[in-house]
Amino acid sequence: MSQGLIVVDVQNDFCEGGSVPVKGGARIAAAIADLVERSAGREYRYVVATRDHHIDPGGHFSQTPDFQDSFPVHCVAGDEGADFHPHFAPVVTDGKVHAVLFKGAHSASKSGFEGADAEGTPLADWLRSRGVEKVDVVGIATDHCVRATALDAVAAGFRTRVRLDYSVGVAPDTTAAALNDFRRAGIAVSGKVPAPE
């Protein structure tokens, strides 16, 4: 059974100093880079990374965001905030990440399964065409885009696990709710929620 790793939104705007920062984002970016260095081509036959890539996402951008469906402007296509974090970017440029999936050009698109690669291939099709049946999901944030990606992965028929030691959430209550969602959906969970910094 071929296994893949889905790295979710390890981008500047979601790390410290970004427009929608998640505390611990930079640390997780470095940890994920190390995981990819150690396991690409071994534990994980394929590694893919998702990127928020907003052009005109409508109500997803708001001057008065609710931080559930609407957020401050972030990850605008072509802006530095949309780039992969410097801790993670080298494993992308070194070719250890096999595909980058862009999502949210004209919508909120929290899930990586709403994204497509540069040729327009959706994530589920990209994985299936390479025989991937099992995926691990990591990244930013556990209670938002990691949650949505993992739930869509299992709904699409992939055996799915979220690795908490390589993910970071926005808040304890929403992260706890996400963990309950994972368990109800039959998503495996490994590791522990990182301690607050």
Phi and psi angles of residue 8, each rounded to the nearest 5 degrees, phi first: -100, 115
> Does residue 103 carry a catalytic annotation?
yes
Secondary structure percentages of the chain, helix, strand, coil, to 5: 30, 25, 40
CA angle 140, 143, 146 (to 5 degrees): 45
Is 15 labeled as catalytic in the residue annotation? no
Of the residues 15, 143, 145, 152, which is catalytic? 145
Q: Which of 15, 52, 103, 110 is catalytic?
A: 103
Is there a contact between 89 and 83 (Cβ–Cβ < 8 Å)? Answer: yes
9 is catalytic: yes
What is the sign of the dihedral through the CA atoms of 52, 55, 58 and 59? Answer: positive
Whole-angstrom distance, CA of residue 164 vs CA of residue 28: 10
Residues annotated as catalytic are: 9, 103, 145
